[in-house]
Structure 1
Amino acid sequence: MKRLISTFALAAGLAVWAAAAVAGPVSNDDILKDATSTGDVLSYGLGPQGQRFSPLAKLTPETVAKLVPAWSFSFGGEKQRGQEAQPLVHDGVMYVTGSYSRLFAVDARTGQKKWQYDHRLPEGIMPCCDVVNRGAAIHGNKVYFTTLDARLVALDKDTGKVVWNKKLADYQAGYSNTAAPLVVEGKVITGNSGGEFGIVGMVEARDAETGELVWQRPMVEGHMGTLNGKESTMTGKLNASWPGDLWKTGGGATWLGGTYDPETRTLFFGTGNPAPWNSHLRPGDNLYTSSTVALNPDTGEIKWHYQTTPHDGWDFDGVNEFVSFDLKKDGQTIKAGAKADRNGFFYVIDRTNGKLLNAAPFVSKITWAKEIDLKTGRPVYIDDNRPADPSGAEKGKPVFAAPAFLGAKNWMPMAYSPQTELFYVPANEWGMDIWNEPITYKKGAAYLGAGFTIKPLYNDYIGALRAMDPKTGKIVWEYKNPAPLWGGVLTTAGNLVFTGTPEGFLKAFDAKTGKEVWKFQTGSGVVGCPITWEMDGEQYVAVASGWGGAVPLWGGDVAKLVKDINQGGSLWVFKLPKA
């Protein structure tokens, strides 16, 4: 009996020692292993490649009915708006950002707040698409996030005290930041927002300890990059694809942040729309806007680029996340990446060199292009569907274009399951009346040169969660939702797919069939990104709830359809209790 008690004591002691061993600072290696670790969530995308796949398998289509709320945490009664964040979890603490540039640390077991940081925002910030923030990053003893007045803030992860606070850009010129940073090999990598104000898209790397700038890479041709405080190389070639001085206010914002592939040591950032929207003012491809750009993490040099919408005239952007995966096809395994673009096509690209492997529609109606030429990689345009040149008039001839500029898929990240070998894409079916207008650049003013009204394509649904086969480009299954889908997706080894709806539900689907197997009403529209992790032997799921984002602000006729959805601001955590 004494020996048995001693054995239990030893086991308990080892468990305490093991728990203590994993506590403390977050290392580069911890972040690289985030996709396979189950006791934490250390990066936006549940791993630097952004697959949003968890190897946890206790929750299944059969057991998910037992998933119950563990606790809920309020972000505050006044500062609601869109809650688009993905939480992080480390050492029993959850870190989640909220609207209006706030960051909360919450006990992951109880929901009790440990600390809160409210960034002091100045008057005159110019966020394009709501006062959202999509998440934080963690490294060492610091947690990092960006703000609506274009700053990068590092906080002590245990106390919430400011360690450093760096200016990224001039908010009075239209710059802002909403994306979750990415930590790669001791550097904090950020993108910027503000493409509607004629800013210049940028990717920056800063030392995670000091916040000092390591390198900077502009995303518009003609601008000079920097490395270690000195000019490095020009992005592209001056006036190669931009006329006159338009490159100086060319847009190309990197507002969704990036992903990182450790196998090829490559950063991938999507770039936004060229400015202004009126494409007749800027003949040419307008590099490197509406593209995926591959970058060297040490220097910021461009390895390759792939432009999804050259000479973009519909505000399709190319900012959507590029997710690395291994494409198994015809007996070969290809280091690939996939992107569900706002323009309506699902792209599969060789991530080592940027070569297009396949492109297929993931929505039912695309009017701006007939197809993507797989030999050239370029779209085959339908010229009559480009908004017309106003030719000195107040307004050019309108066209009806699909998808709408809010995209076949907007910011909300998709997920990939190595088990099913499918991507799960939150899509939307809508179109728009769009026309061009004359415009000149003015610092801090909207720089569109276009007008628009978004309209639903169908009476019974707008949103559609679709399972895409990257080998064929075919849709395997779909779930249709009345309101637009505007939240991220999570998939698990338990054969589940989670996503939220504006109607307030967090839902779970069978990853193979698309059958809905569970749902929970959170009280407000879910436009955040769900996560899952294991704690104390139980599997947990969390998601932020709070309706907002671009749809109620820019949605035209669609905004009228969803005007009665209540705002909110809360974090919901669920768990599968032990048997």
Structure 2
Amino acid sequence: MKKLLLATSATLIAATASIAGVTEEDIANDQNITTQIVSNGMGRHQQRFSPLDKVNKENVKYLVPAWSFSMGGEKQRGQETQPLIYDGIMYVTGSYSRLYAIDVETGEEIWQYDARLPEGILPCCDVINRGGAIYGDKIYFGTLDARIVALDLKTGDVVWKDKIADYKAGYSYTSAPLIVDGLVITGNSGGEFGIIGEVQARDAETGDVVWTRPVIEGHMGTLNGEESTMTGELNATWPGDLWKTGGGATWLGGTYDADTDTLVFGAGNPAPWNSWLRDAGDKTDGSGDNLYAASRIGIDPATGEIKWHFQTTPREGWDFDGVNEVVPFVDAEGNKRFATADRNGFFYVLNREDGAFVSASPFVKDITWAEGIDENGRPIYNEENRPGNPADAADGGKGDVVFSVPSFLGGKNWMPMAHSPANGLFFVPSNEWGMDIWNEPVSYKEGAAYLGSGFTIKPIFEDYIGSLKAIDPNTGDVKWEYKNDAPLWGGVMATAGGLVFTGTPEGYLKAFDADSGEELWKFQTGSGIVGQPVTWEQDGQQYVAVASGWGGAVPLWGGEVAKKVNFLNQGGSIWVFKIPVMN
């Protein structure tokens, strides 16, 4: 650990003297307590909506920088983080598993924690971190060597840390933890290495594991140190022993619906990508569905038992992870629903009580892999658009190449959408792209990539790739769309001021009219924005903040699209904005 303190202790004492500790009630009301942000998503339901309206359509044009903070050093990689705010201090994670405490009034650093990462970590999609969570007098965040760390809010000292899984086998951890009733709840990353997706719950005070829930059928859960129940039914939807390396990484974390007392986690792609090896290529009777990969899963937060599941892409064969956030909302008729915009290009509405399918509609254009979604929520496959079986090739090598839309990076990838209860719309960051994809033979080796596929991502329109869409969840209609030349890869935030904020790879933080989509304001931050904007109130004034620092999966995996953005500068900084007070 590397910890840097300010030269004078007076600043530290003044900034932290009033910390009393974040309670379960504080977390439950995170969206409505406008002076704090203590959870990822600005509330455990992850609506990313603020009731603040001091910055609004009429005056957002006057927004100017209050301060900026450099994350420094040579560790300038993708900054996908979301800042947290508590008691006058901003807590923000950075690439390479770093965490900073910053005075929100001055932008001065209070302390810094650097994880001591071992050689040989295996992050698939850049060395990013998406944020932390605050509870009591501690802040919790994950590291690239698949650990969860609890730090003292005042000093940055380690209180406890624990291993989630073995990084040498391909596990890592990049998402923000979730806190529910004194439990720190985490997922894992590493789906491209044949790991097993799992959700774990630990005592927030001690770090002791309370329960674990693997999300691939055949694996046993635990409760209080003892085996509990098996996930699913052994070999019901997986052939042979492939379930043992079945993927399904829970890499984007989860949401919590207080009304039903349910955690909702998504599971990533089944492993390997080559669907023919998993009986998904030709089995249409459910035996090749590969549960619970590419699914949303409702979990009891006290015991880790699965309440329900909804599989967005059974028989998955395009790397359409099912991890995207599941956001509780109330529809136009007063029904309690979930919404999720899947990597496969469809926007789903589910029932909150049992995860049952309500509706689905495409939110990206020219989808090729499926003709639509049937009345049960199951895809109507275009079988000719499945990558070919290598076994059918003359030399037993590369299978038939197909061009599929969307690409494996998805109609929507990790970047979180926002929901405005004020106008009922969801604001979904998406990308319009496709890919050449083919299958290849592959065998599992611990710590090695386990794909059995090759791919090249390509744009499908000449004038844009990124697309921010305002979607009516009651109809699936797109009410407005903002088109961006480069892929959108950052989070979205909505406010009661009638605004929607998001960033672009070209470096701009932008504000749009939530009702019309009109661009009202922008600011150039000097590097691409792939972070998650937030807003809060300090001493009666509203602030907006975002991390700037280009990176993430696009420059690493983006094929022809990566060439389109290779001129973008990397960086690592936090920008904070306010409207000056007129005397």
Q: TM-score range by the shorter chain?
A: over 0.9
Paired residues of 2:16 and 2:154 also in contact (CA < 8 A): no
Whole-angstrom CA distance in 1 between matches of 2:180 and 2:525: 34
Q: Is the 8 A contact 1:538 1:577 kept in 2?
A: no
Give, as a single letter, the amino acid of the residue that structure 2 aligns with 1:66: Y
Listed one character per residue, the Cα deviations across residues 94-139 of structure 1 (whole Å, up to 9, x for unaligned) are 0000000000000011100000000000000000000000000100
Instruction: Tell me if the contact between 2:266 and 2:322 (Cα under 8 Å) persists in the aligned partners.
Output: yes
Deviations 1:223-262 (A, max 9, x none): 0000000000000000000000000000000000000011
Q: Does 1:493 find its partner at 2:500?
A: no
1:303 maps to a residue whose letter is: K
Matches within 5 A, 1:191-206: 191-206=187-202
Q: Do the aligned partners of residues 361 and 152 (structure 1) sit closer, same or farther apart at CA in structure 2, a change above 3 Å counting?
A: same
Q: CA deviation at 1:22?
A: 7.6
Q: Write the distance in 1 (CA, Å) between the matches of 2:73 and 2:300.
A: 43
Distance across 1 between alignment mates of 2:527 and 2:252: 24
In the alignment, is the contact (CA less than 8 A) between 1:155 and 1:162 conserved in 2? yes
Partner residue of 2:149? 153
The size of the alignment, in residue pairs, is: 557
Q: Distance in 2 between matches of 1:492 and 1:43?
A: 17
Is the CA contact (8 Å cut-off) linking 1:289 and 1:318 kept in structure 2?
A: yes
Give, as a single letter, the amino acid of the residue that structure 2 aligns with 1:357: V
Instruction: Measure the CA separation in 2 of the matches of 1:288 and 1:351.
Output: 19
CA contact 2:374–2:380 (8 Å) conserved in 1: yes
* Sequence identity (%): 68
Larger mean CA deviation between 488-497 and 352-361 belongs to 352-361
> Which residue in 2 is equivalent to 1:7?
none
| Corresponding residue for residue 388 of structure 1 | 388
CA distance in 2 between partners of 1:527 and 1:240 (Å): 39
Name the structure 2 match of 1:425: 428
- Which residue in 2 is equivalent to 1:570? 573
Q: 1:22 and 1:291, CA in 2 relative to 1: closer, same or farther beyond 3 A?
A: farther
Please show how residues 122-521 of structure 1 align to structure 2 within 5 Å. 122-283=118-279, 284-329=288-333, 333-374=334-375, 376-391=376-391, 393-521=396-524
Between the aligned partners of 2:215 and 2:16, the Cα distance in structure 1 is 44
Structure 2 residue 113 is the aligned partner of structure 1 residue 117: yes
Shift in Å, 1:324 = 0.5
Q: Deviation string for 1:42-63 (max 9, x for gaps)? A: 1100001000000000111111
Kept in 2: contact 1:88–1:94 (CA 8 A): yes
Give the C-alpha shift of residue 21 in structure 1.
11
Counterpart contact for 2:312–2:322, Cα < 8 Å: yes
The amino acid across from 1:364 in the alignment is K
Q: How many angstroms apart in 2 are the aligned matches of 1:179 and 1:21?
A: 29
Residue 37 (structure 1) aligned to one of 33, 37, 51: 33
Q: Which amino acid aligns with 2:304?
A: G
AA matched with 2:161: N
- Structure 2 counterpart SS, 1:328: coil
- 1:76 offset after TM fit, Å? 1.1
Following TM superposition, by how much is the alpha carbon of 1:377 offset from its aligned partner in structure 2, in angstroms? 1.3
> Within 1, Cα distance between the matches of 2:315 and 2:57?
45
Per-residue CA distance 1:34-85 (angstroms, 9 max, x = gap): 0111001111000010000000001111110111100000011300110000
CA–CA distance in structure 2, aligned partners of residues 456 and 185 of structure 1: 45
Q: Partner letter of residue 351 of structure 2? A: D
Provide the residue aligned with 1:55 in structure 2. Answer: 51
Shift of 1:165: 1.0
8 A Cα contact 1:102 1:118, kept in partner: yes
Matches of 2:191 and 2:293, distance apart in 1 = 10
Partner Cα separation in structure 2 for residue 189 and residue 509 of structure 1: 34
Contact 2:19 2:137 (C-alpha < 8 Å) held by counterparts: no
What TM-score, normalized to structure 1? 0.95
Q: Is the 8 A contact 1:537 1:578 kept in 2?
A: no
Kept in 2: contact 1:495–1:512 (CA 8 A): yes
1:20 shift after superposition: 10
The equivalent residue for 2:66 is: 70
1:554 to 550, 554, 557: 557
Q: Give the 4+ runs in structure 1 shifted more than 6 A.
A: 19-22
Paired AA for residue 577 in structure 2: F
Q: Tell me the amino acid that sits aligned with residue 576 of structure 2.
A: V
Q: Normalising by structure 2, what TM-score?
A: 0.95
| Structure 1 Cα separation of the partners of residues 580 and 336 of structure 2 | 39
2:85 aligns with 89
Deviation, structure 1 residue 481? 0.2
2:7 aligned residue: none
Counterpart secondary structure, 1:288? coil
The whole-number CA distance in structure 1 between the counterparts of 2:417 and 2:254 is: 14
Deviation per CA, 1:451-471, whole angstroms, max 9, x where unpaired?
Answer: 000000101000000000000
Local SS of the residue matching 1:384: helix
Partner letter of residue 358 of structure 1? S
**Residue 536 (str. 1) matches residue 532 (str. 2):** no
* Mapped contact 2:297–2:308 kept (Cα < 8 A): yes
Q: Deviations over 1:521-560 (max 9, x none)?
A: 0000000000000001110000000000000000000001
Q: Is residue 77–residue 569 contact of structure 1 (8 Å, CA) maintained in 2?
A: no
1:390-415: CA deviations, max 9, x gaps? 01622001000000000000000000
> Quick check: 2:146–2:164 contact (8 Å CA) kept in 1?
yes
Distance (Å, rounded) in 1 between the aligned partners of 2:267 and 2:357: 17
Is the CA contact (8 Å cut-off) linking 2:16 and 2:87 kept in structure 1? no
**Distance in 1, Cα, partners of 2:167 & 2:396:** 32
| CA shift for structure 1 position 578 | 2.7
Match of 2:320, as an amino acid?
F
CA RMSD of aligned residues (A): 1.1
* CA–CA distance in structure 1, aligned partners of residues 148 and 315 of structure 2: 32
1:293 alignment partner AA = I
Task: Give CA-to-partner distance per residue, 1:236-294, whole Å, 9 cap, x none.
Answer: 00000000000000000000000001111000001100000000000100000001000
Return the letter of the residue paired with 1:449: G
Gaps of 5+ in 2: 1-14, 280-287
The AA in structure 1 aligned to 2:359 is N
Q: CA contact under 8 A between 1:460 and 1:482: conserved in structure 2? A: yes
CA distance in 2, matches of 1:446, 1:112: 41
1:23 offset after TM fit, Å? 3.9
* Cα contact 1:509–1:516 (8 A) shared by 2: yes
The code of the aligned residue for 1:49 comes to: H
In structure 2, C-alpha distance between the alignment counterparts of 1:577 and 1:323, rounded to whole Å? 34
1-side partners of 2:269 and 2:240: how far apart? Answer: 18
